Structure 1
Amino acid sequence: MSDPAGPPSTITPSTATPQHQAAAPGRVRAAVVTISDTRTPETDTSGGYLRAQLLAAGHEVTGHIIVRDDAVEIRSALVRLMQGCDIVITSGGTGIAGRDVTIPVVESLIVKPIPGFGELFRMLSYAQVGGAAMLSRALGGLTRGALLFALPGSLNAVQTAWEGLLRDQLGHLVFEVARQGQPGAAAPRPGQLGRHANTAGAQLARQEE
C-alpha cells in the first residue's frame, strides 16, 4: 500500500548558509531501491524517476534495484548498497498494509534520525491530499554507512519528496554528515560521503571555532 500524494506543488526551498552551501559537494553517490512485490524494471516508474533525476543533477547512481516486500531481503539489499554510496533512497512499502515492512527495517538501520524529513514530507502531502497524509510513514536518517531516506511508492509522492526536499539538499546533507565526523563511526571510505566534504568540512570547522 503506497501513501497517497497529489501532484507536487511549486516549491522554493530555503538554502543553507552561504558557507555551507559553497562547501557542499556538487556530486554525491546515490543508490535507488524500489520495494514492491509487483513492480518490474518496465513498470518501476518511481525508481526510474529517481534515477533519472539523480543523473540529471550530476550525481552518480551506484545501484538501482527492485526488492520484494520482505524484511530480510530489504535489509540485506540496503546494507550492501550503503557500503558504496553516500545516500540510499527507497520507494515503496511505507504504508500500513500487512506487506508494508520497509519502515521497521529502515528504523533498525538508522542511528541518527532526521525527523524533519518525515514532518516536512507530510506537510507537503497534506497541502495536496488533506488528512490522507497521516498515512505516510516516510522517514530519513543517518546509518553507520550512509544517509537513508524511505519514500512512498507512488510516483506523485516520490516527486513531492524529490522536488520539495531532497533535490536541493543532497550535497548539504552529505556535507553536514562528514564535516565533523560521527561518534563511533569509521572514517568514510574514499568516495563515500562526498569526495570533497571531509576536507571542506574540516576547513570550515576551523573557521567557525
Structure 2
Amino acid sequence: MTEATGPSSSSTAHHQAAPRSVRVAVLTVSDTRTPETDTSGAYLLSELHAGGHEVTGYRIVRDDGVEIRSALTALMRDAAVVISSGGTGITGRDVTIPVVESLLTKPMPGFGELFRMLSYREVGGAAMLSRAVGGLAGGTLLFALPGSLNAVQTAWTGLLRDELGHLAFEVARHGQPMIPQPGSAGPGGAG
C-alpha cells in the first residue's frame, strides 16, 4: 500500500530539476511612486537578488494602459517571469489587469484564487477587491499583484518564492506552441 503523504515523485523530481536562478523583471504601476518610494518594487528586487535570481529589468510606469503594455512587452523580451505590482484595484485608474489579461495566452486562475485566499486571512473581506492575476504570455510568465507592500510580501512568500524555478521549468519543459524554441526555425521550420 502506498502512502499519500506528500507530492508525487514526479512532482518532486520536477522541483529538483527546476533552475535555481530565473530571469525575472519587475514592473511597478503607480502615478506617485518613484524609485525612492517604491517599497514594493524594492522588496521584490531584494528578495530576487537574495534568492539568486537574475533581475533583467525594473521599471516604474504610470497607471496608463499604453505605458503598461509597452513596459510589459519590453520586459518580457529578456525575462522568463515578469512580476508587476499596482493598478489592480477597482478604481477608474486601475488598468493593469485588463492589459495583463490581454497578453495572457494561458491564464493560471489558481494564482489569483490562492492569492485572495491568503489575503483573506490577513485583511478579511477586503481581499475581494484584489484582482491579482497570473499566467503565461507566450513564453513568459506574468504575475500582476496589488501595489501594497503587504500584498506583495504575501504573494512572494506564499506563492512565488518557492515555485519560481518550478514554474520556469514547466514553461520550458516541452516548449510552448507557436513560440520558437532555441535551435528551432519556428513553427513548421527546420531546426
TM-score (norm 2): 0.89
TM-score (norm 1): 0.82
* In 2, Cα distance between equivalents of 1:61 and 1:176: 20
Q: Aligned in 2, Cα 1:133/1:142: closer, same or farther, shift over 3 Å?
A: same
* In 1, Cα distance between equivalents of 2:137 and 2:158: 23
1:128 deviation in Å? Answer: 1.0
* In 1, Cα distance between equivalents of 2:128 and 2:175: 35
Q: Deviations over 1:72-91 (max 9, x none)?
A: 01000100110101000000
Question: Residues 83 and 145 of structure 1 are in contact (CA less than 8 Å); yes or no, is this contact kept in structure 2?
Answer: no
State the AA in 1 paired with 2:42: G
Instruction: Extract unaligned runs of 5+ from structure 2.
Output: 1-5, 184-191
> What residue in structure 1 maps to residue 99 of structure 2?
105
Give the aligned CA root-mean-square deviation in angstroms: 1.3
Q: Aligned in 2, Cα 1:43/1:106: closer, same or farther, shift over 3 Å?
A: same
1:42 deviation in Å? Answer: 0.6
* In 1, Cα distance between equivalents of 2:182 and 2:142: 16
Q: Does 1:43 align with 2:26?
A: no
* In 2, Cα distance between equivalents of 1:90 and 1:36: 11
* In 2, Cα distance between equivalents of 1:78 and 1:97: 21
> What residue in structure 1 maps to residue 170 of structure 2?
176
Q: Aligned in 2, Cα 1:15/1:170: closer, same or farther, shift over 3 Å?
A: farther
> What residue in structure 2 maps to residue 3 of structure 1?
none
> What residue in structure 2 maps to residue 89 of structure 1?
83
1:22 deviation in Å? Answer: 1.2
Q: How does 1:183-194 map to 2 (within 5 A)?
A: 183-187=177-181
Instruction: Specify the SS of the correspondent of 2:48.
Output: helix
> What residue in structure 1 maps to residue 16 of structure 2?
22
2:141 aligned to which of 147, 163, 171: 147
> What residue in structure 2 maps to residue 61 of structure 1?
55
State the AA in 2 paired with 1:166: L
* In 1, Cα distance between equivalents of 2:7 and 2:118: 17
* In 1, Cα distance between equivalents of 2:161 and 2:63: 26
Instruction: Specify the SS of the correspondent of 2:47.
Output: helix
> What residue in structure 1 maps to residue 67 of structure 2?
73
> What residue in structure 1 maps to residue 152 of structure 2?
158
1:34 aligned to which of 10, 28, 31: 28
> What residue in structure 2 maps to residue 116 of structure 1?
110
> What residue in structure 2 maps to residue 129 of structure 1?
123
What percentage of residue pairs aligned between the two structures are identical?
72
Q: Which one has a bigger Cα radius of gyration?
A: 2
State the AA in 2 paired with 1:159: Q
Greater RCO, CA 8 A, separation 6+: 1
